[in-house]
Amino acid sequence: MKEAIREVARKAKESSPVVANLSSAQKNAFLLHLADKLLKEKQSILEANALDLERAKASSMRQSLLDRLALNEKRIADMASGLRDIASLPDPVGEVIDGTRRPNGLLVTRVRVPLGVVAIIYEARPNVTIDSVGLCIKAGNAVILRGSSSALSSNRALVQVVQKALQECSLPEGCVGLIESESHEDVKFLLSLREYIDVAIPRGGADLIRTVVENARVPVIETGIGNCHVYVDETADLDMAEKIVVNAKTQRPSVCNACETLLVHERVAPVFLPRVVAALKAKGVEVRGCEKTRQIVSEVVPACEDDWYAEYLDLIIAVRVVESLDAAINHINKYGSHHSDAIVTSDYSHAMEFTRRVDSAAVFVNASTRFTDGGEFGMGAEIGISTQKLHARGPMGLRELTTWKFVVYGSGQIRE
Amino acid sequence: MKEAIREVARKAKESSPVVANLSSAQKNAFLLHLADKLLKEKQSILEANALDLERAKASSMRQSLLDRLALNEKRIADMASGLRDIASLPDPVGEVIDGTRRPNGLLVTRVRVPLGVVAIIYEARPNVTIDSVGLCIKAGNAVILRGSSSALSSNRALVQVVQKALQECSLPEGCVGLIESESHEDVKFLLSLREYIDVAIPRGGADLIRTVVENARVPVIETGIGNCHVYVDETADLDMAEKIVVNAKTQRPSVCNACETLLVHERVAPVFLPRVVAALKAKGVEVRGCEKTRQIVSEVVPACEDDWYAEYLDLIIAVRVVESLDAAINHINKYGSHHSDAIVTSDYSHAMEFTRRVDSAAVFVNASTRFTDGGEFGMGAEIGISTQKLHARGPMGLRELTTWKFVVYGSGQIRE
């Protein structure tokens, strides 16, 4: 198997200069062709997905995971329209980022170029397969896909469609590779291939990301662990605060930018907590509170230290009463995952201090944490949300799938 | 020792929000004060350096390494003036990189912020200590220094001066930490401290960089391996080509942007090789050539496959005759280290093709590879030259020691 993996990686590297030098028109033509083809081939994709679902049910997979794994006509249509969206985005490759004429006459330019070969390690959602292909190819990269073994049959069918589309568009087939191995040792091997892989991006839960980070010898961009906070300041508009908390917690609780902990200033806690707890409970949310919270709203379950660290991804929220803005910021920087955090306030200096001191990829004033998203930020589609500081932070779109090189034009200059 | 290392890292992390929020004026005042202080304390620094030199001589260190280790009044003055240069550069922190008003009224801004805690792992040059402190603090980062054990006494003395300067400027002392351990296990431990360190930057030779990359659990920026090429095209101005080759090879052979391999198009080889070999030999360069080279200039030593991969850092050059631009590009992409490569040509389309297809941090047309340098590119001082594609590529200045965060200003927006 290792030789097969090395071969997939080698071919990706070999094809990457070809992909890097495709014109925008060629890349967009491929994306649109693939979109059409997915719709035409939906029957074979759904049949392959049915096999995965059967196996998953036989192994008693949880309903929420089954939901992620399942494809249907609507989801295939969504993949196709996702590709069309990517085709409509501007091509990041070739942008002259900046440049300068030096005193010696050298023209130094910094030009945006593809990363090369991107490995995406992900879980059960088969739509990630198509999404990753679309984004990576549009940014001029070859891509190596390693999805969950539970989705292998679906991913094989999808990549088969991709391969045909590549062929029909005269693009090198090696530029999209699927790793079919189900073993963790093989993933580790893949992540050691520094000569072929320029960056690995894990897309999935905390365990997956930890495994990739700990085993990779290639550079990694960490994504998506979200222990996000809403802090309701003493000066908050409480109607706005309630709307934001309920939205951030319940609009889609399973995603990384959902709110997991609510912090409330002690001066507004007696008024705000009863109403926000009632509003959350009406949406089916379990509320776990600190001692002070429970003194105000007695039916709240007690929260323990672990709750402050928790990424529930579920209809559960931890609530803590804090004595000051400073205490709120310290709590967020200590327990949070540096993803997305919000303050609700009407005080200008509190808003400024919060945005300056909270060390997170996205910091919001008077808005829901749910907005941390490539589309919502105006970047178009995203490949994930980086919670590390290197290379990219926050939503990663096409630009974040590129690097640059310096191109320097001279007329015989030498260094004295 | 591990506990001492953890403590240095913990203090750096603890102090990093303070450094991140210093004003430019505070940071510049510290840099200028430190510059003055180095000059005042030069006696104690030179005495400490003398101890290192004594130990090094006793252990029969090579002369070239002794040269790197040795300090003198001039070198201390250079450190001080380096700090003054850094003080004069614009502060990267706080720049609003871009931003947009979304249709729902959200104002999404991307703001430049420090990385946090930067660990610099380096070798015998004690000037790297001061240089790293200056660049990291100016970019708002705390810094952890781990120099070579051969320079420990010098580094201790230098960091002592730094600590006093921090104190006198009311900056947190924890924001500059020195790891005094001489063991490799301890470096490995340092590079595992993901909760405290945001990025590690190795500055040194190939072995050091490999060790850091292979052992780090924290994100790493690789720097500085340079197997650089000059390709002399069939249409080159041969006077210009000779000047560029001799400059790229001999102006400072021990640095990463010096030329290691010369590629010559077969049509100009019979005319160009005799004169360039003569010019190189006149500068004391040993020339190792391919078979075709030796047919033209018989006194050239034969080159073997290893020579194409070699980073000599010395007065040695490998020479290969190639049959086309395409062959030259393929040679560079196969054997090179993706650092700096140059073409000498008078053909427009060849120049364009070379810059597009050569996969290196810096690609030059009609100029010496020696120009790959933060100062020469107009970025001011540099912390190193990245040869990886993630985060930064090529010379890394103050901007490359930062990341960004999204700061989003709303008025009660929730996601539907």
Q: What is the pLDDT of residues B181-197, one digit of tens each?
A: 878 889 999 999 999 99
A228-371: CATH, from 1.10.1740.10, 3.40.309.10, 3.60.15.10, 3.10.20.30: 3.40.309.10
What does DSSP assign to residue A92? -
**Gap from A184 CA to chain B (nearest CA, Å):** 19
Query: Token pair for residue A325?
Result: 């803005």
* A17 contacts in chain B (CB < 8 Å): 333, 357, 359
- The answer to whether the beta carbons of residues B36 and B163 sit under 8 Å apart is no
**pLDDT at B104 exceeding the cut of 80:** yes
Number of H helices, E strands in chain A: 15, 16
Largest CA distance in chain A: 79
Phi then psi for residue A199, to 5 deg, are: -160, 145
- The answer to whether the beta carbons of residues A202 and A220 sit under 8 Å apart is yes
Instruction: Say which of A248, A366, A408 has its CB closest to residue B367.
Output: A408
**Gap from B116 CA to chain A (nearest CA, Å):** 9
Is B283's Cβ below 8 Å from some Cβ in A? Answer: no
**Contact criterion met (CB < 8 Å) for B219 and A365:** no
Phi then psi for residue A336, to 5 deg, are: -75, 175
Alpha-carbon distance of A167 to A213, in angstroms, equals 34
Which tens digits make up the pLDDT trace of A263-285? 999 999 999 999 999 999 999 99
Return the percentage of chain B with pLDDT > 70, whole number: 100
Alpha-carbon distance of A228 to A248, in angstroms, equals 9
**pLDDT attached to residue A150:** 92
User: What are A95's strand-pairing partners?
Assistant: none
**Contact criterion met (CB < 8 Å) for A371 and B17:** no
Mean pLDDT in residue range A48-70: 92
**pLDDT attached to residue B283:** 97
Is A357's Cβ below 8 Å from some Cβ in B? Answer: yes
Q: Which CATH superfamily is domain B2-222+388-408 in?
A: Aldehyde Dehydrogenase; Chain A, domain 1 (3.40.605.10)
**How many Cβ atoms are within 10 Å of A266's Cβ, its own excluded?**
14
Confidence at A182, pLDDT banded by 50, 70, 90: confident
Judged by DSSP in three states, A297 sits in coil
Confidence at B205, pLDDT banded by 50, 70, 90: confident
Alpha-carbon distance of A43 to B405, in angstroms, equals 44
**pLDDT attached to residue B246:** 98
**A113-141 as b/e: b if 16+ CB within 10 A:** bbbbbbbbbbbbbbbbbbbbbbbbbbbbb
- The answer to whether the beta carbons of residues A335 and A311 sit under 8 Å apart is no
**pLDDT attached to residue B206:** 83
Confidence at B172, pLDDT banded by 50, 70, 90: very high
Return the percentage of chain A with pLDDT > 90, whole number: 89
Residues comprising chain A, all counted: 416
**pLDDT at A378 exceeding the cut of 80:** yes
Using CB atoms within 10 A of its CB, is residue A154 exposed (0-12), middle (13-18) or buried (19+)? buried
CB proximity list for B105: less than 8 A, separation 6 or greater: B410, B411, B413
> Residues spanned by CATH 3.40.605.10 within chain A?
2-222+388-408
Is B390's Cβ below 8 Å from some Cβ in A? Answer: yes
**pLDDT attached to residue A1:** 84
Mean pLDDT in residue range A280-304: 97
Residue type, B309: Y
Cα B292 to Cα A245, B289, B298, B317: the distances in Å are 74, 8, 10, 15
As for the ipTM of the complex, it is 0.94
Mean pLDDT in residue range B83-100: 96
Alpha-carbon distance of B224 to B213, in angstroms, equals 13
Using alpha carbons, select from A287, A212, A296, A205 the residue that is nearest to residue A245. Answer: A287
**Contact criterion met (CB < 8 Å) for A365 and B247:** no
Using alpha carbons, select from B211, B144, B162, B149 the residue that is nearest to residue B6. Answer: B144
Phi then psi for residue A374, to 5 deg, are: -55, -45
**Considering chain A, what is the average pLDDT of its residues?**
95
Confidence at B64, pLDDT banded by 50, 70, 90: confident
- The answer to whether the beta carbons of residues B386 and B392 sit under 8 Å apart is yes
Confidence at A238, pLDDT banded by 50, 70, 90: very high
Mean pLDDT in residue range B333-339: 96
Q: How far apart are the first and last CA of chain A?
A: 54
CB proximity list for B369: less than 8 A, separation 6 or greater: B228, B229, B230, B248, B257, B258, B259, B340, B341, B342, B362
Phi then psi for residue A6, to 5 deg, are: -60, -35
Query: Token pair for residue B70?
Result: 């040795």
Is A137's Cβ below 8 Å from some Cβ in B? Answer: no
* B357 contacts in chain A (CB < 8 Å): 17, 21
> Residues spanned by CATH 3.40.309.10 within chain A?
228-371
Using alpha carbons, select from A11, A6, A15, A36 the residue that is nearest to residue A140. Answer: A15
**How many Cβ atoms are within 10 Å of A220's Cβ, its own excluded?**
24
- Which range of A80-94, A374-388, B371-385 scores highest in mean pLDDT? It is A80-94
* A217 contacts in chain B (CB < 8 Å): 213-214
Nearest CA in chain B to A404: B393
Pairing of strands A316-322, A301-302: unpaired
CB proximity list for B294: less than 8 A, separation 6 or greater: B300, B302
**pLDDT attached to residue A30:** 98
**pLDDT attached to residue B224:** 77
Nearest CA in chain B to A386: B405
**pLDDT at A134 exceeding the cut of 90:** yes
Using alpha carbons, select from B213, B232, B224, B244 the residue that is nearest to residue B337. Answer: B224
Return the percentage of chain A with pLDDT > 70, whole number: 100
**pLDDT attached to residue A70:** 95
User: What are B365's strand-pairing partners?
Assistant: A409, B343
Which H or E element spans position B367?
strand B362-367
Return the percentage of chain B with pLDDT > 90, whole number: 89
Q: How far apart are the first and last CA of chain B?
A: 54
* A416 contacts in chain B (CB < 8 Å): 251
Mean pLDDT in residue range A316-336: 98
Using CB atoms within 10 A of its CB, is residue A37 exposed (0-12), middle (13-18) or buried (19+)? middle
Mean pLDDT in residue range A378-386: 90
Poorest-pLDDT segment among A143-152, B125-134, B215-224: B215-224
Alpha-carbon distance of A300 to A376, in angstroms, equals 34
Which residue would you say has higher pLDDT here, A158 or A388? A158
Give me the residues of A, 13-52, that contact B with CB < 8 A: 17, 21
**B100-111 as b/e: b if 16+ CB within 10 A:** eeeeeebebbbb
* A237 contacts in chain B (CB < 8 Å): 412
Among A108, A109, A246, A344, most B C-beta atoms within 10 A, so best to mutate, is: A108
CB proximity list for B296: less than 8 A, separation 6 or greater: B269, B270, B273, B274, B321
Alpha-carbon distance of A12 to A3, in angstroms, equals 14
Confidence at A84, pLDDT banded by 50, 70, 90: very high
Which tens digits make up the pLDDT trace of B51-63? 999 999 999 988 8
Which tens digits make up the pLDDT trace of B21-42? 999 999 999 999 999 999 999 9
Is A95's Cβ below 8 Å from some Cβ in B? Answer: no
**Gap from A212 CA to chain B (nearest CA, Å):** 11
**pLDDT at A188 exceeding the cut of 90:** yes
In which residue are the tokens 């104190």 written? Answer: B167
Alpha-carbon distance of B221 to A78, in angstroms, equals 38
| DSSP-derived secondary structure for B209-247 | HHHHHHH-SS-B--B----EEEEE-TT--HHHHHHHHHH
Judged by DSSP in three states, A129 sits in helix
Which tens digits make up the pLDDT trace of A193-228? 999 999 999 988 888 888 898 889 899 998 878 999
User: What are A354's strand-pairing partners?
Assistant: none
Cα B148 to Cα B125, B269, B386: the distances in Å are 8, 44, 21
Confidence at B207, pLDDT banded by 50, 70, 90: confident
* B361 contacts in chain A (CB < 8 Å): 405-406
- The answer to whether the beta carbons of residues A126 and A158 sit under 8 Å apart is yes
**Considering chain B, what is the average pLDDT of its residues?**
95
**pLDDT attached to residue A307:** 98
Residue type, B391: H
**pLDDT attached to residue A156:** 97
